[in-house]
Amino acid sequence: MLLDMFSLAGQVGIVAGGGQGLGQVYCRAFAEAGADGVWDRTCSAIS
């Protein structure tokens, strides 16, 4: 499947400004792609 090429399973994403705007979109995309944790300096975790 095409989305398997973009799998982040077993990876951790770090996004600056993940609490709002594009940063929040990236955090959610990382979580949907299977990242184990998506952290932001203003949020504890987004999953």
Q: Where are the domains of the chain?
A: 13-47
- Alpha-helix runs per DSSP H in the chain: 21-32
- In terms of DSSP bridges, do strands 12-14 and 37-39 run parallel, antiparallel, or are they unpaired? parallel
pLDDT digits (tens, 9 = 90+) for 13-44: 778 777 778 888 888 888 888 887 766 666 55
Check whether 45 has a pLDDT greater than 70.
no
Judge if pTM exceeds 0.85.
no
Q: How far apart are CA 5 and CA 42, in angstroms?
A: 30
